[in-house]
């Protein structure tokens, strides 16, 4: 099954994607049918949960805390492990010709390589290195994405053996993000995914006098992070030549167009699935089409990017 090329289809690393919307890692991508349901509702590319070598149950609840501007989450990389996770990806790919990004998480080069070998044998289209989960610092230390040396080493090692294009998912919670993006590009990354969740942050229940999240802190997402995501994407876009998946706080068509203008090739839509429902993907695609009409643009490629920073 395949949907047709349209005014909003996009070319990404040699593949035509039916629309620019990406389901980011961690949202919905746990089961093959969840991937299908998301695609049926208008998402162009599906990213799996970040898969680890062994299954992980993640943190105990509460793993979600909502507040006015968005939400915190400390899922804790719950996933069925690389073998089960790739079985879900393959089950989906057997039935639907929709591009899938397989997200993987590890803390050492050896583990990243072991994961890459498994992804090589899968039907996934791309591999994304999650170098930036903010919710497992107690277990694994500071995210690798904080160091351009680490990012460079891992990307280089994975690139050497990967049969799939490599996407580096980076963290906004660093000093000198653009330098880290440049390091990933120089190491051979085919694309970047910016940004993972912000913070981490915390919320307190003043009656129970405890932090709301079980893990005390969690990554910040939702509308409140959009300005940071736009800035990160724009600064990276000004420097790197590889495509960027811009994700962070996109909840409507106007946000998506801002992300394109900042320089993103594809747009992640994650937390908005909560407020907007699963119909958010179709809704955003419709709003992008309406924007094309408003300015007489033929295709999404006609939407101008901002002039790059000098």
The residues that are catalytic are 133
Q: Which stretches of 94-222 are assigned E, i.e. beta strand?
A: 100-104, 126-130, 166-169, 191-194, 198-201, 204-205, 210-211, 218-221
CB of 80 to another protein, least distance (A): 4
- The Cα 70–Cα 52 span in angstroms is 27
Among 14, 97, 207, 241, binds another protein (CB under 8 A): 207
Omega cis (within 30) before 263:
no
Closest separation between CB of residue 124 and another protein, Å?
16
Q: Is 141 in the site for another protein (CB under 8 A)?
A: no
| Site membership for another protein, residue 90 (CB under 8 A) | no
CB closer to another protein, 81 vs 199: 81
Say if residue 219 is exposed, middle or buried (CB neighbours under 10 Å; 0-12, 13-18, 19+). buried
The candidate with the shortest Cα–Cα distance to 25, out of 4, 46, 52, is 46
Question: Does the protein bind another protein through residue 279 (CB under 8 A)?
Answer: no
Pairing between strand 64-67 and 126-130? unpaired
Q: What DSSP character marks residue 271?
A: T
Q: In the window 17-46, what residues touch another protein (CB under 8 A)?
A: 26-38, 40
If the CB atoms of residues 249 and 263 are measured against another protein, the closer one turns out to be 249
- Site for another protein contains 81 (CB under 8 A): yes
Dihedral angle sign, alpha carbons of residues 7, 13, 15, 17 = negative
Work out which of 75, 104, 177, 183 binds another protein, going by CB under 8 A. 75
Prior bond of 200 cis (ω within 30°):
yes
Taking CB under 8 A as the rule, does residue 202 contact another protein? no
CB 88 within 8 A of CB 30: yes
Told to check if 217 binds another protein by CB under 8 A, we report no
CB of 62 to another protein, least distance (A): 4
Compare residues 97 and 207 and give the one whose CB is closer to another protein.
Answer: 207
Q: Do you find a cis peptide bond into 134, omega within 30 degrees of 0?
A: no
Q: How far is the CB of 130 from another protein (least distance, A)?
A: 16
Min. distance of Cβ 192 from another protein in angstroms? Answer: 23
Residue with Cβ nearer another protein (57 or 308): 57
Contact positions toward another protein, by CB under 8 A? 26-38, 40, 49, 55-58, 60-66, 73, 75, 78-81, 84-85, 88, 205, 207-208, 210-212, 214, 270-271, 273-275, 277-278
């Amino acid at each position: 099954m395949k949907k047709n090329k349209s005014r909003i289809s996009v070319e990404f690393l040699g593949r035509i994607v039916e629309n620019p919307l990406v389901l980011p890692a961690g949202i919905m991508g746990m089961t093959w049918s969840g991937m299908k349901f998301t695609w049926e509702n208008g998402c162009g590319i599906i990213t799996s949960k970040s898969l680890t070598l062994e299954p992980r149950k993640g943190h105990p609840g509460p793993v979600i805390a909502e507040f006015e501007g968005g939400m915190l989450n400390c899922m804790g990389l719950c996933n069925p492990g690389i073998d089960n996770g790739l079985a879900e990806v393959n089950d989906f790919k057997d039935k639907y010709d929709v591009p899938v990004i397989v997200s993987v998480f590890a803390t050492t080069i050896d583990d990243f390589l072991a994961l890459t070998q498994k992804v090589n044998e899968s039907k996934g289209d791309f591999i994304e290195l999650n170098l930036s989960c903010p919710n497992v610092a107690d277990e694994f230390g500071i995210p690798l994405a904080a160091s351009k040396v680490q990012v460079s080493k891992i990307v280089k090692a994975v690139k050497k053996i990967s049969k799939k294009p490599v996407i580096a998912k980076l963290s906004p919670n660093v000093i000198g993000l653009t330098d880290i993006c440049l390091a990933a590009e120089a190491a051979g990354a085919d694309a970047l995914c910016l940004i993972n969740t912000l913070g981490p942050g915390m919320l307190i229940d003043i009656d129970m006098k405890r932090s709301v999240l079980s893990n005390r802190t969690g990554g910040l997402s939702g509308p409140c992070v959009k300005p940071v995501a736009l800035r990160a994407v724009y600064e990276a876009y000004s420097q790197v030549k590889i495509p960027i998946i811009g994700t962070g706080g996109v909840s409507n068509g106007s946000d998506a167009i801002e992300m394109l203008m900042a320089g993103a090739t594809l747009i992640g839509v994650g937390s908005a699935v909560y407020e907007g429902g699963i119909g958010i993907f179709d809704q955003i695609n419709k709003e992008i089409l309406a924007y094309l009409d408003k300015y007489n643009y033929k295709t999404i490629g006609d939407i101008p990017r901002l002039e790059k920073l000098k």
